[in-house]
Amino acid sequence: MAFINEYIPQEDIKKHKFDEQFLADHPEYKTLPSLFAPHWTVDRGRNIYLMSIGSYDQAHDEDPWIGFELNINSKVIVCKLLYGAGKSVKFSDSPFYMAWNMISLMPEDLHGIEPSVVIDLLKEALTTYGYAGVHRQIDNTIVKFHF
């Protein structure tokens, strides 16, 4: 199988306890909001998924970064990335370029997974993720990596 972008099916939300995690992270909610629709880039055949876990902008941090969770066989690796040089600024660009720089991967030991394997899987998943996963894809997107 290959990576695909999708809204997470209800059975996977329950299996991975994304609903419980959302409520724990957002105590202002007593129940899941009606618009709760988490998404991921998943390869079920290899039991791997990539999920956006947030971003920080210059209004809050010196260096804006984007966080992703790369889950490889239930081993979670948190990836902090920056947009890289050469990223398109207009949606009408064709080809449209996404570019990424690496800030860090955590934990440092990567749960015993070879760093080259983690990097290769991250690149493969981000290539499928494209501009914004299932939320928005832009035709003719090319994803570049500066790591």
Provide the residue-wise pLDDT of the chain in tens; the chain has 147 residues.
Answer: 799 999 999 999 999 999 999 999 999 999 999 999 999 999 999 999 999 998 776 566 566 789 999 999 999 999 999 999 999 999 999 999 999 999 999 999 999 999 999 999 999 999 999 999 999 999 999 999 999
- In sequence order, the β-bridge partners of residue 48 are 43, 72
Residue 51 has a CB neighbour count (10 Å cut-off) of: 21
Q: Are 51 and 6 in contact (CB under 8 A)?
A: no
- State the pTM of this model: 0.91
pLDDT value at position 58? 58
Sign (positive or negative) of CA dihedral 131, 119, 44, 1? positive
